[in-house]
């Protein structure tokens, strides 16, 4: 158990809908990351938050947004869902992510299926 918890584990929704994925980082970790794993794109970095503020952005679509709350948990919001958004969404956390030597711990992921 890495200590990073994600909910829900599985989610099936229809095209055009909106979903929210939730992540609780390991105790004490300030940085939270979101990654998308799909068959065609592989593992892709979406976004990083550090202590409530956006720190780095990757290939995140405009239909997607994230935030990190004062208690350091994070949510990834996916809207206007398309079939191609079906993927495994990982959350990860690390102490700071601001310097080398940080170990990044991954959660078990949230399986999203868009039908």
For another protein, the closer CB: 15 or 103: 103
Binding residues vs another protein (CB under 8 A): 2, 4, 31, 33, 35, 42-45, 48, 50, 55-56, 58, 88, 90, 92, 94, 97-109
Whichever of 27 and 100 has its CB closer to another protein, that residue is 100
Q: Would you tell me how many other CB atoms lie within 10 Å of the CB of residue 8?
A: 12
CB of 23 to another protein, least distance (A): 12
State the Cα–Cα distance between residues 96 and 56, nearest whole angstrom. 13
Q: Angle at CA 90, nearest 5°, toward 86 and 91?
A: 140
């Amino acid at each position: 158990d890495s200590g990073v918890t994600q909910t829900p584990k599985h989610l099936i929704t229809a095209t055009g809908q909106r979903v929210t994925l939730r992540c609780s980082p390991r105790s004490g970790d300030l940085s939270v990351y979101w990654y998308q794993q799909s068959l065609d794109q592989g593992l892709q970095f979406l976004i990083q938050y550090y202590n409530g503020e956006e720190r780095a952005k990757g290939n995140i679509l405009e239909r997607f947004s994230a935030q990190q709350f004062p208690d350091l948990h994070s949510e990834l919001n996916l809207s206007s869902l398309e079939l191609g958004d079906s993927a495994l969404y990982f959350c990860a956390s690390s102490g700071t992510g601001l310097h080398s030597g940080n170990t990044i711990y991954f959660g078990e992921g949230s399986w999203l299926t868009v039908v």
